Amino acid sequence: MATRTTDISVAAATVKKGGVIAYPTEAVYGLGCDPRNEEAVHRILQVKQRLPQKGLILIASDFFQVAPFLKPIDAALKAKAMDSWPGPVTWLWPVRPDTPKWLCGEHATLAVRVTAHPLAAGLCSALGMALVSTSANREGAPPATDPQMLEETLGELLDTILEGPLGGHEKPSQIRDLKTDQVIRQ
């Protein structure tokens, strides 16, 4: 059963050791791990029963935490993303050729967001890196919105649950394509 905590440093230590955590985001609890740890990422995919081809989202407290995964782009496109951050907009950004397929799946883009949620941003700051962020649920099931729901549905599959309030949004972050501005998820 997952350890429940309100201490960001406990959750960060779990991630650094290769663990899988749940934490509050803007609208739902998310599942997270070190994006460079292939084993931890595959564990999240197993927990969610999600196909690896779909790719994942990375969140950060600062753009420089996601930049190593992303291709440099036109300044106007970059400014469009920067103007929406920190905030609940996730952008599909072209990836560098060496970005792991376990993150971007079959896509040439990676979903990235600089979060404004204080606990999620604090967690990324404590880690000094981006964090995998995908809703805390099995594919097709409703995402967890509180620690009790998490414990009942996924608790035995997680290492740590960082407890705290959600960010007050009714829906998960909007996902948009950076190049086309197309809304992928409202």
Identify the band that residue 115 occupies on the pLDDT scale cut at 50, 70 and 90: very high
Domain total for the chain?
A: 1
Task: Please give the pLDDT value at position 137.
Answer: 96
The pLDDT of residue 23 is above 90? yes
Give the whole-angstrom CA distance, residue 138 versus residue 95. Answer: 27
Q: What mean pLDDT comes out for the span 138-165? A: 94
Task: Please give the pLDDT value at position 172.
Answer: 80
Q: Considering the domain boundaries, does residue 23 fall inside one?
A: yes
> Can you give the residue range of the structural domain that contains 179?
6-185
Q: What mean pLDDT comes out for the span 167-177? A: 88
Task: Please give the pLDDT value at position 123.
Answer: 98
Q: Considering the domain boundaries, does residue 87 fall inside one?
A: yes
The pLDDT of residue 186 is above 80? no
The pLDDT of residue 43 is above 80? yes
Q: Considering the domain boundaries, does residue 156 fall inside one?
A: yes
Give the whole-angstrom CA distance, residue 54 versus residue 103. Answer: 9
Sign, CA torsion 6/8/13/16: positive
Structure tokens at 111: 């979903």
The CATH number for 145's domain is 3.90.870.10
Q: Considering the domain boundaries, does residue 160 fall inside one?
A: yes
Of 179, 183, 186, give the one whose Cα is nearest residue 77.
Answer: 179
The pLDDT of residue 63 is above 90? yes
Q: What mean pLDDT comes out for the span 20-46? A: 97
Per DSSP, 27 falls in state S
Identify the band that residue 160 occupies on the pLDDT scale cut at 50, 70 and 90: very high
Inter-residue contact 152 to 12 (CB < 8 Å): no
Identify the band that residue 103 occupies on the pLDDT scale cut at 50, 70 and 90: very high
pLDDT in tens, 64-91: 999 999 999 999 999 999 999 999 999 9
Q: Considering the domain boundaries, does residue 1 fall inside one?
A: no
Q: Considering the domain boundaries, does residue 101 fall inside one?
A: yes
Q: What mean pLDDT comes out for the span 39-48? A: 97
